[in-house]
Amino acid sequence: MANTLNVGLVQMRCSEDPAQNLQRAAAGIREAVRQGARIVCLPELFRTPYFCKHEDPQHFQLAEPIPGPTTEYLAALAAEQNVSILASVFEKRTDGLYHNTLVVLDPEQGYLGKYRKMHIPHDPLFEEKYYFAPGDLGFRVFDTAGVRIGTLICWDQWFPEAARLTALQGAQILFYPTAIGWLPEEETTERAAQHEAWELVQRAHAVTNGCYVVAVNRTGFEPAPPGASSQGIHFWGQSFVAAPDGTVLARAPVDEEAVLVVELDLAFIERFRTTWPFLRDRRTDAYAALTRRFLDPDG
Active site residues: 44, 117, 154
Angle, helices 18-34/69-81, rounded to nearest 10 degrees: 20
CA gap 156, 176 in Å, rounded? 8
Find how far residue 81's CA is from the centre of its chain. 22
Which alpha helices (H) appear in the chain, and where do they start and end? 18-34, 69-81, 160-167, 188-209, 267-275, 278-281
> What torsion, rounded to 10 degrees, do the Cα atoms 197, 264, 159, 228 define?
60
- The two beta strands, 219-223 and 232-236, are antiparallel
Sort 103 into a burial class: Cβ within 10 Å, 0-12 / 13-18 / 19+: buried
Amino acid (one-letter) located at 212: Y
Tell which residue, 169, 185, 176, has the closest CA to residue 153: 176
DSSP state of 286: G
Per the CB < 8 A criterion, the answer to whether 199 and 178 are in contact is no
Alpha carbon of 58 to those of 51, 54, 131, 230: distances in Å? 10, 11, 11, 21
Tell which residue, 135, 10, 136, has the closest CA to residue 83: 10
DSSP state of 285: G
